[in-house]
A and B are shown apart, each in its own frame.
Chain A
Amino acid sequence: MIARTRHLHDDRLVECYLTERHGDALDPPVAEHLSDCPSCTERYAELAQFMETVRAEGDADADALFTPERLHAQRQAIARRLQGIVRPARVISFPRRLVRRTMTASTSRMAPRWAAATAAAGLFVGVALGAGYEWGAHARSVRQTLAADASRASRVAPVAALGNSTSDLADDVFLSELEIALERPHTRELQAFDAFTPHVRPIRDESR
């Protein structure tokens, strides 16, 4: 139960966003608070706008690169590789228990609250307009960049090129944690799962 006087924490708002994105209804007390509290409504709208913008930008890039023609070529390439497979792989015993759900498409079954909230707060998920996060201020500096040196444009500095070592280390840590997680009793069944998750090289040798 969320006390009426306490505002919703940002983490809770992320939770709300996810819940609505997957087409589920918010918990009644949370929904009630969002209805009654203009401050939380506005924060939620901002967060949802941010998340949607990030998602739309990423998807737009991937979709621009994976055009229908390219996806068609991908299907053909897979079909060619499957032609090389004459017999199925060995059967490995499979874990018994797991969640079962139809993975939904990105569209929600319910109209998300943030859609109304963003409208109410005078915000708009302005992906197409390029009005995401602080792009406006950025535009001015870009104009100067353009004027100064168009050739530099191809290498606009990202937030920070911290380099792969950090993130790679993080991947290692993550994978190590996965391994630890796998040893926990409730995830033991995943071990069998990974037993038949082979790596790139042997597969390529088998199928090419």
Chain B
Amino acid sequence: MNNDMGIFPEPAAVRVDPDAGSAPAPAGARARRPGVAAPLSEASRVAIEIRALIERGEMDEARQRFGELVTLHQRRASRIAYQYLRDSADADEAVQDAFVKVFLHLPSYREAWPFEVWFTRILINGCLDRRKARTRRDRWFVGGEPSSADEARLAAADATPDPERRLLARERRARLAAAIERLDGRQRTVFTLCHYGDCTPREVSAMTGLNESTVRVHLFRAARKLRGLLGGKP
């Protein structure tokens, strides 16, 4: 897989989907979302303040302020990481790693980038690394199934005393996870970021480098496939 050194593997003989350009028009969303003029997000402002603290060598204060960013983003980050990894311990570590990376590299942060986009890209790169590492480590690993520890946690969290309902809930989880697992890599990433990460197609475009219409095409295909797999009307 040759992925030890960089996020991006050796270029393969793969072409970017030629259909991408024929995506349906993005319904004017772009026109209504004038990215450049939008104000800095709260997270971006905090990140800039922390960067200044680091530059002045005020590391204790920087670390303290960084806690705000963690608090602001950790739930969303954990949702995204869990969807990728289906193991909360692994997802927890991936989220921690992403925050540590971000702190380490804050001196490079520039306000031209929304903090959320920067952070999320670092997070998903880490998650993809972990998926690959896990597959190499454990060839029996089947993506999509929650770990047994998580199953136990979810069962404990389920207040329903009715075993039938608990079983149904577990089945729903398994089916949904397996369906998402059956999306191809691009579809899964785009769907996860849009759907569980609350990202707009434009933000996903910035995170992945795919153009926005390609993001939308992957999203449509993901939705269609999931509806087919899960019994919604295709």
Contacts and interface: CB of A to CB of B under 8 A. Distances in A.
By Cβ-Cβ distance, the 3 closest A-B pairs, closest first, are A158-B178, A99-B35, A174-B185
A203 B108 contact: no
A66 B81 CA distance: 11
Interface string B125-154: 110111111010000011111100011011
Given A89-B107, A142-B168, A160-B182, A19 B27 contact: yes
Contact of A134 (B35, B131, B180, B230): B230
Interface string A2-17: 0000000111101110
Interface residues of A, number: 117
B83 A58 contact: yes
- Chain A interface helix/strand/loop/mixed: helix
A122 interface: no
21 contacts: A11-B224, A14-B219, A14-B223, A15-B27, A25-B32, A62-B78, A62-B88, A65-B150, A98-B35, A99-B36, A130-B172, A156-B171, A157-B174, A158-B181, A168-B131, A170-B188, A175-B7, A175-B8, A179-B8, A179-B11, A181-B209
B107 A162 contact: no
B141 A199 contact: no
Interface string B97-139: 1011101111111111110111001100110111111010000
Interface in B146-195: 146, 150-151, 153-154, 157-158, 163-165, 167-186, 188-189, 194-195
B48 interface: no
Contacts of A179: 8-9, 11
Nearest to A86: B59
A74 B129 contact: no
A197 B125 contact: yes
> Could you say which interface size class chain B belongs to?
35 or more
Contacts of A169: 185
A134 B154 CA distance: 22
Interface string B9-45: 1111011110000011011110011011011111110
Given A153-B170, A197-B122, 16 more contacts: A24-B32, A27-B27, A57-B172, A63-B79, A66-B92, A71-B74, A78-B96, A85-B100, A89-B108, A99-B36, A100-B112, A103-B198, A142-B167, A158-B174, A172-B1, A199-B6
A207 interface: yes
A204 B100 CA distance: 9
Contacts of A9: 24
Interface in A17-52: 18-19, 22, 24-27, 30, 43, 46-47, 50-51
Nearest to B231: A134
Interface string B195-234: 1101111110010111100001001100110110111111
Interface in A51-72: 51, 54-55, 57-59, 61-67, 70-71
